[in-house]
Amino acid sequence: MQITDKVYYVGVNDRVKHRFESLWALPLGVSYNAYLVVDEQVALIDTVDVAYFGEFLDNIRTVLGDRPIDYLVVNHMEPDHSGSIALIRQYYPKIKLVGNKKTHEMVQGFFGPQSPRDITVNDGQLLSLGSETLQFFMAPMLHWPETMVTYLLGRGILFSGDAFGCFGALNGAVLDRDMDIEPYFREMERYYATILGKYCPPVRAALKKLSGLDIRMICSTHGPVWAEHVDRAIDTYRRLSEGQTEEGLVVCYGSMYGNTARMAEAVARGAVQAGMRKVIVHNLAVSPMSEVLADIFRYSALAIGAPTYNGGIFPAVDDLLKRLASRQVSNHRLGIFGGHTWASAAPRLMEQYNEQMKMQLVEAPVGWKQSPDADALGAAKALGAALARP
């Protein structure tokens, strides 16, 4: 599919995989995007998951026929993008791999010895294809150490790797102007929260580095090609990396026998009665973790509740807290509530997690023993009201 003069989309859709990285739900599937720049010489930008190599090769041959590929630019070595390197080398034995030093180290680790034809590039280096020129910019920890992006000079096209990407297979269209983009921006937030949420400082550093470029089109490795909505895609990443939120409350809880669930409902009611209109309640034993994380990144306040379980935190809640402790989520107001039957531990341990999360604890944790009484439920409502205050 031609994107613009000399630039073609040759990616594929995956509507089979249930979980990205075997972790994150894919209700809308996912795309693996790759691109051809066809000039006096031909550059292939990234590959696809090896399971889709046959379709990928057909897409390439539809554009090139029997013409060879001169360069394979490897922006990111994660196997959903590099998995076809070994096969593409078999079909195009004279191809030269273009990557930075860390890229080539990973190529060797995954696929064996480097070819003497391969090219190592540094930050800002140029590669001429004839009348078209590629420029490479290092973007380490976005979200692997070897990550880089490729810029097509004169055309303003940024081949951005995973950056500005999203979950969601492509439904017939590739360019954003030919589709309903709203589901993809929702999936972009979910993608950021799950994949890039730990790496907000590197995201901000990359945005700063790329801010001087005239970016008129973004070709990422997942999701649509951004042509009409470049600014929105960049602003979404900027907002998420800076921890900007909108007013709202996410109530997350785990409950064995319904007592913590009752307290969670009381927290939500207290927030609504205090004027909060955007309130989302997640039972962590049921809600997909990617949806929970996306909502937490989106909204300004968070309440977390759990019973004490085997002297610790109920496992589903403990899992969420571990994930939050490894992500950049400090710009939130936080409320904690937890119950026990004979020995209280969950509220204290949840507070300890906040030493890493560094959220603003709005009140002392709300606790109760055995079944919550009217006083406990009233305290939960008061906690919700406190979380509703900016």
pLDDT value of residue 107:
95
Q: Tokens for 189, please give them.
A: 């937030």
pLDDT of residue 317: 98
Residues of the chain with pLDDT under 70: none
> What are the residues whose beta carbons fall under 8 Å from the beta carbon of 5, sequence distance 6 or more?
none
The confidence score (pLDDT) of residue 1 equals 87
117 touches 94 (CB < 8 A): yes
SS3 77: coil
Tell me which residue of 303, 302, 307, 304 sits closest to 259, measured CA to CA: 307
What is d(CA 13, CA 181) in angstroms, rounded to the nearest whole number? 17
Quick one: pLDDT at residue 115?
86
Q: Cα angle vertex 131, ends 127, 134, to 5°? A: 30
* Per-residue pLDDT, 293: 97
What are the beta bridge partners of residue 137? 149
Determine the pLDDT at residue 341: 93
Residue 352's alpha-carbon distances to 260, 336, 355, 357, 373, in angstroms, are: 20, 11, 5, 9, 26
pLDDT at 224 (0 to 100)? 98
Please state, in angstroms and rounded to a whole number, the distance separating the CA atoms of residues 367 and 355: 19
